[in-house]
Structure 1
Amino acid sequence: MNTTNTTGSPTPEPEGSSRPARLIQNEATTEIPVHLLFRDDAEPRPVPLEPAVVGGRPGTGEQPRLRRPAQQAKARPLAQVDPELVERPARVLPGVVGVLAGTCGAVGCVAASWWAGVLPPLAVEALQLPECAGAGLGPVQWAAYAGAGALGLFGFGGLARGRTGRAWVLGLFGRYRGTVRRTGLLWVNPLLLRRRVDVRLRHWRSEPMPAADRSGVALRVVVLVVWRVRDTARATLGVEDHETYLRECVEAALARISVETPGAPRSSVEAAGEALTGLVARDAGAVGLEVFSVQPVLVEYAPEVAPAMHRRRIAALDAQHRASVLTSVVDSVEDTVTRLTMRGLVELDDYERKALVKDLTVAFCAGRQEQSP
């Protein structure tokens, strides 16, 4: 069997030799077996994806090198970065324990006073205590006073009242010790610092904030934000003032989102509100705030551009009104001329037709101006 070379001329096969593999060869490529180009594999081999082999540049002697795909750095959540800034329940006791401890401390102080003989006679009669000669205020009596007083102070001083929609963030020497979300009478360690946090659903109507539309025209926007504190530890300890932080997040979102001008369709306003909600919720979520909605309730031009935009709007409305009036007049003139000629009432040449159109246009325009306020 003869094969063909790159020029198209047949190449005879040597006699007495086995059938060689057919080759394709030219001056730009190496020899490639023809049977490899038309090979049909029943099960294709999987192609390895990594590591990638990057060939060297020809003529430079550079060897092929391996290039591993870049691995994207995974951002660790805030809970793994600082485990202390995660809300967890604090250890508190029922209020009955504090009442009992305080009562025991008060009774101990009265007993120590009776033992030392310094209890007033009226108090002895009122309490119906037996008379005691009194041992005086010695070290033992002072120790009893100190123990009973400390018990009473810790008992009554740790009483707290938990309310619905309120939480206590507890700290000891600058360290977060937990959050109390329980209601009713509770006993909390009086040595802990308490910070009250409002965890109810809240709304905030902002003051006019600067913004811009798609054309870059300065606007003033008032937004309504519906939010609540989801993580009291982050909201209290992760930022100095979470309300101020939320306000700054709203201002940053307004700087990144284009707000529609006054009089825009409702769909555009809703789209801007959804975009604002997404940005503010993402930024405020890092400090434990949950944002449900950020909707613009008032959009107006900035004071420095309001007169110019008002004049532009009036000019646009005037031009639109003129265009509509002109279209109506042209349609009326065309209808009048067409009826006159189609019914054979008049026969007009080109000059007379132009004169009639001109007169009708002037008459209709004058009538529309008299009708308009």
Structure 2
Amino acid sequence: MNNEKITTAPSGYLAFVLVLVLIAVAALCFYGQYPVAGVIITIVNFVFILPGLAIVNPNESKVLTLFGKYQGTVKQDGFFWVNPFTVKRKVSLKAYNLNGQQLKVNDSVGNPIEIAAVIVWQVKDTAKAVFAVENYLQYVNIQSEAAVRHLANSFPYDHIEDENASITLRGGAEQVSMILEKELNERLERAGIEVLEARISHLAYAPEIAHAMLQRQQAAAIISARRLIVEGAVGMVEMALNKMEEKNIIELDEERKAAMVSNLLVVLCGDRSVNPVVNAGTLYH
């Protein structure tokens, strides 16, 4: 496999001046009745000198090959002259932004989800990009899709599906992005591509299970809230009983304690306003 070799080329301005001089000399030869010399000078000018002129724009490069052999890459921007028989292939060094399409895949626990990623990449090794793969643009698209699919298959969508998961697609955005970026760099290194940034741009359950999963998330949120309310209510009841015993406000037997605990829990844990009931009798009648 060819590795990138940076080469320097002579300035093209001197060659351009030479082209103009030879054109003038050829014109004088034709004017002075020396057509053979004029033809020879014109052929030399347009076959050996003029085709060698090359312009390299900023953030671009020219990959040079001579009779099937890699000669080097010109990365410096400017006006140059190179061997006229070399094939000059332009390779952009600018950063590309790949907005991946939404993919329907299964997460690690088998739930169908929709996922897409935004990837920023650029060519790092021009020789690999040109000679190691057939089309490096298409190579990036295909390998990026494969990496996103593999990422989705490796982690659950949320902790609801796998409570023991250390990383989830929904909750571990930074870690997931780092993992995706690392895998893309490994996959695209063969083509001389460097991934600058990779992030999940779209993540959702597939439409066929989205409603059911929303209900499940709502139920889990309600259960979590109720658990917190019950824990707080039990603590408040315990504090109330301890305070009454410390200050000797009233002595309660076990049955009255149980009734008081029941009433307090109803008041504290209920999701509606409580209507007080006045008991005119006693607890035992």
Q: TM-score range with shorter-chain normalisation? A: 0.7 to 0.9
Determine whether 1:369 maps to 2:272: yes
The DSSP-based 3-state class of the residue aligned with 1:295 is strand
Matched-pair identity in %: 25
Equivalent residue letter for 2:110: G
CA distance in 1, matches of 2:126, 2:250: 89
Determine whether 1:192 maps to 2:97: no
User: Aligned residue for 2:260?
Assistant: 356
Q: What TM-score does the superposition give when structure 2 sets the normalisation length?
A: 0.76
Determine whether 1:318 maps to 2:222: yes
Q: Which runs of 5+ in 2 are unaligned?
A: 160-167, 275-285
The aligned runs of 1:167-206 (5 Å cut-off) are 167-172=61-66, 174-206=68-100
Determine whether 1:96 maps to 2:13: yes
Q: 1:166 aligns with which of 56, 60, 80?
A: 60
8 Å CA contact 1:259–1:272 kept in 2: the answer is: no
8 Å CA contact 1:262–1:300 kept in 2: the answer is: no
User: Aligned residue for 1:146?
Assistant: 39
Q: What TM-score does the superposition give when structure 1 sets the normalisation length?
A: 0.60
User: Aligned residue for 1:287?
Assistant: 191
User: Aligned residue for 2:119?
Assistant: 225
Residue 144 of structure 1 deviates from its aligned partner by 2.7
User: Aligned residue for 1:268?
Assistant: 172
Bigger drift between 162-171 and 175-184 goes to 175-184
CA distance in 1, matches of 2:11, 2:252: 106
User: Aligned residue for 1:248?
Assistant: 142
Determine whether 1:86 maps to 2:3: yes
Residue 259 of structure 1 deviates from its aligned partner by 4.5
User: Aligned residue for 2:182?
Assistant: 278
Residue 307 of structure 1 deviates from its aligned partner by 2.2
8 Å CA contact 2:117–2:148 kept in 1: the answer is: no
The DSSP-based 3-state class of the residue aligned with 2:133 is coil
Residues 248-299 of structure 1 show CA distances to partners (whole Å, capped at 9, x for unaligned) of 2222223333346469699933333332232221221112223344333543
CA distance in 2, matches of 1:199, 1:94: 21
Distance 1:294 1:340, change over 3 A: same
8 Å CA contact 2:100–2:145 kept in 1: the answer is: no
Equivalent residue letter for 1:369: R
Compare the two structures and name the one with the higher helix fraction: 2
CA distance in 1, matches of 2:32, 2:94: 52
Report the RMSD for the aligned CA atoms in angstroms: 3.2
8 Å CA contact 1:229–1:289 kept in 2: the answer is: yes
CA distance in 1, matches of 2:155, 2:123: 27
CA distance in 2, matches of 1:97, 1:229: 31
CA distance in 2, matches of 1:370, 1:202: 60
Q: Which runs of 5+ in 1 are unaligned?
A: 1-81, 117-139
User: Aligned residue for 2:207?
Assistant: 303
Distance 1:159 1:236, change over 3 A: same
CA distance in 1, matches of 2:126, 2:269: 71
CA distance in 1, matches of 2:84, 2:206: 53
The DSSP-based 3-state class of the residue aligned with 1:291 is strand
User: Aligned residue for 1:26?
Assistant: none
Residue 325 of structure 1 deviates from its aligned partner by 1.9
Q: RCO greater where, 1 or 2, for CA within 8 Å and sep 6 or more?
A: 2
Residues 209-239 of structure 1 show CA distances to partners (whole Å, capped at 9, x for unaligned) of 4555443333333434343322211101221
